[in-house]
Amino acid sequence: MKRLPLIFFAVSLFAQNEFAQSAAPRNPRTSPEDVAAGAKTFRSHCGPCHGLNAEGGRGPNLTSGIFYHGETDAALLNNISDGIAGTEMPGLFYSPDRVWQVVAYIRSLSSASGAKPSGDGARGQTVFQAKKCSQCHRIGGEGGRLGPDLSLIGSTRSLAHLRQALLDPNADVRQRYWVVGAVTKGGAEQSGFLMNEDTYSIQFLDMSEQLRSIQKADLAKIRIEKVSKMPSFKASLTERELEDLVAYLWSLRPKERAR
């Protein structure tokens, strides 16, 4: 409330769009030196997920100029400072000035176009059905739960990551998909994805998608393997099927972009 008189003052002095800008702040750090400093921060903190040149990896390509989670400068600042809840995107706990530099760097890339898939998405959809991918993956609510939901995979992963996921699933397995193997004192063996752990028990999702709980007191042995439950399709896809499938996965994104 204290700021009200100031805002009226601003409106009376500047044009309407100047007022709009003060409501949605613009990046104050856009000099070439800021872009260079932002690039440096990016390589060390963001490159492992988004690629050293932001071309995308486990995190999306950031060079296309399209940002599904918000594309104003202010939205980028928030998403990078706070992370994006419910996703793997972590927050960067730096001063706003240093985050603005990273925003300036990302903006500087937008002209270099985002890569487009070379395959045919419609043919890729038939490959997806023929290879029974939906045994483990859901798209639009249909399919199995052993693997991640792929409904929006095209907006969060790069082409290179999608290709790698099919050819070499073990290359990058998220913790949620590490496999726990447990042997009870009675000698029974069970395995599944670790879902939760508390003082007395562990819970995991077994391979028939049943949630199981084992008392730690009953455990003889437990081991965690960072390997994927997804088979490699390296030997069972032709080059063309692979590119078509990647094009199909890439097309799985929100219908209406939130702008």
CA gap 217, 184 in Å, rounded: 9
**Least CB distance from residue 161 to ligand HEC, whole Å?**
6
Q: Of the two residues 121 and 169, which places its CB atom closer to ligand HEC in the complex?
A: 169
CB neighbour list of residue 34: distance below 8 Å, 6 or more residues apart: 100, 101, 104
Q: Of the two residues 151 and 203, which places its CB atom closer to ligand HEC in the complex?
A: 151
**Least CB distance from residue 120 to ligand HEC, whole Å?**
15
Place of tokens 């440096």: 40
Q: Of the two residues 63 and 156, which places its CB atom closer to ligand HEC in the complex?
A: 156
CB neighbour list of residue 164: distance below 8 Å, 6 or more residues apart: 171, 172
* Contact (CB, 8 A) for 160 and 53: no
CA gap 228, 137 in Å, rounded: 14
CA gap 162, 156 in Å, rounded: 10
Footprint of ligand HEC (CB under 6 A): 42, 45-46, 48-50, 58-60, 62, 67-69, 76, 79-80, 84, 87-90, 92, 102, 128, 131, 133, 135-137, 146-148, 153, 156-157, 162, 165-166, 169, 173-174, 177, 228-230, 233, 245, 249
**Least CB distance from residue 159 to ligand HEC, whole Å?**
11
CB neighbour list of residue 13: distance below 8 Å, 6 or more residues apart: none
**Least CB distance from residue 230 to ligand HEC, whole Å?**
3
Q: Of the two residues 76 and 214, which places its CB atom closer to ligand HEC in the complex?
A: 76
